[in-house]
Chains A and B, each alone.
Chain A
Amino acid sequence: MNRLAISLPGLDMKNPIMPASGCFGFGREYAGFYDLSVLGAAAIKAATAEARFGNPTPRVAETHSGMLNAIGLQNPGVDKIMEKELPFLKSYNIPIVANIAGSRDEDYCEVARKLSSHPQVSVLELNISCPNVKEGGIQFGTDPKTAAELTKKVKSVSSKPVYVKLSPNVSNISEMAKAVEEAGADGLSMINTLLGMRIDLKTRKPILANKTGGLSGPAIKPVAIRMIHEVSQAVSIPIIGMGGVTCAEDVIEFMLAGASAVAIGTANFVDPLICPDIISKLPELLDHMNVNHISELIGGSWKECEVPSLSR
Chain B
Amino acid sequence: MRKEMVSVVSQKEIARNIFELKVKGDVVSDMTSPGQFVHMRVSDSFQPLLRRPISICDVDLTSQTLTMLYRKEGAGTSLLSEKKDGDMIDLLGPLGNGFPLDALAEGKTALLVGGGIGVPPLYYLAKQLQKRGIKVISVLGFQSFEDAFYKEKFEAVGEVFISTADGSQGCKGFVTDVIKSHSFTYDLLYSCGPSVMLKALEQQVPSASGYFSLEERMGCGIGACFACVCHVNGGLPSDYVKVCSNGPVFPIGEVVL
Given the known interface contacts A65-B46, A272-B3, A273-B3, the answer about A29 and B226 at a Cβ–Cβ threshold of 8 Å is: no
Q: Mark B1-19, 1 if CB is under 8 A from A, else 0.
A: 1110000000000000000
Kindly list chain B residues whose C-beta atoms are within 8 Å of the C-beta of A246: 46
Interchain CB contact (< 8 A) of A67 among B50, B92, B236, B237: B50
Q: Give B179-218 interface residues, CB cut-off 8 Å to A.
A: 216-218
Kindly list chain A residues whose C-beta atoms are within 8 Å of the C-beta of B218: 60
Interchain CB contact (< 8 A) of B220 among A29, A53, A62, A65: A29
Interface size on A (CB < 8 Å)?
Answer: 42
Kindly list chain B residues whose C-beta atoms are within 8 Å of the C-beta of A66: 49
Q: Mark B80-120, 1 if CB is under 8 A from A, else 0.
A: 00000000001010000000000000000000000000000
What is the count of residue pairs linking A and B with beta-carbon distances less than 8 angstroms?
107
Main secondary structure of the interface of A (DSSP, over half): loop
Q: Considering the chains assembled together, what is the distance between the CA atoms of A246 and B46 in angstroms? A: 9
Q: Which residue of A lies closest to B41 (CB)?
A: A270
Cβ distance A56 to chain B, nearest Cβ, rounded Å: 9
Interchain CB contact (< 8 A) of B49 among A53, A54, A65: A65
Main secondary structure of the interface of B (DSSP, over half): loop
Cβ-defined contact, A59 with B227, below 8 A? yes
Say yes or no for B62: interface residue by CB 8 A criterion.
Answer: no
Say yes or no for B61: interface residue by CB 8 A criterion.
Answer: no
Cβ-defined contact, A272 with B238, below 8 A? no
Q: Considering the chains assembled together, what is the distance between the CA atoms of A270 and B219 in angstroms? A: 8
Q: Considering the chains assembled together, what is the distance between the CA atoms of A192 and B49 in angstroms? A: 18
Q: Mark B42-58, 1 if CB is under 8 A from A, else 0.
A: 00001111110000000
Cβ distance B17 to chain A, nearest Cβ, rounded Å: 15
Given the known interface contacts A62-B48, A65-B49, the answer about A25 and B224 at a Cβ–Cβ threshold of 8 Å is: yes
Given the known interface contacts A53-B238, A65-B46, A270-B50, the answer about A33 and B3 at a Cβ–Cβ threshold of 8 Å is: yes
Q: Give A231-246 interface residues, CB cut-off 8 Å to B.
A: 246
Say yes or no for A51: interface residue by CB 8 A criterion.
Answer: yes
What is A's interface to B at a CB cutoff of 8 Å? Answer: 22-25, 28-30, 32-33, 45, 50-54, 57-67, 69, 71, 74, 76-77, 217-218, 246, 266-273
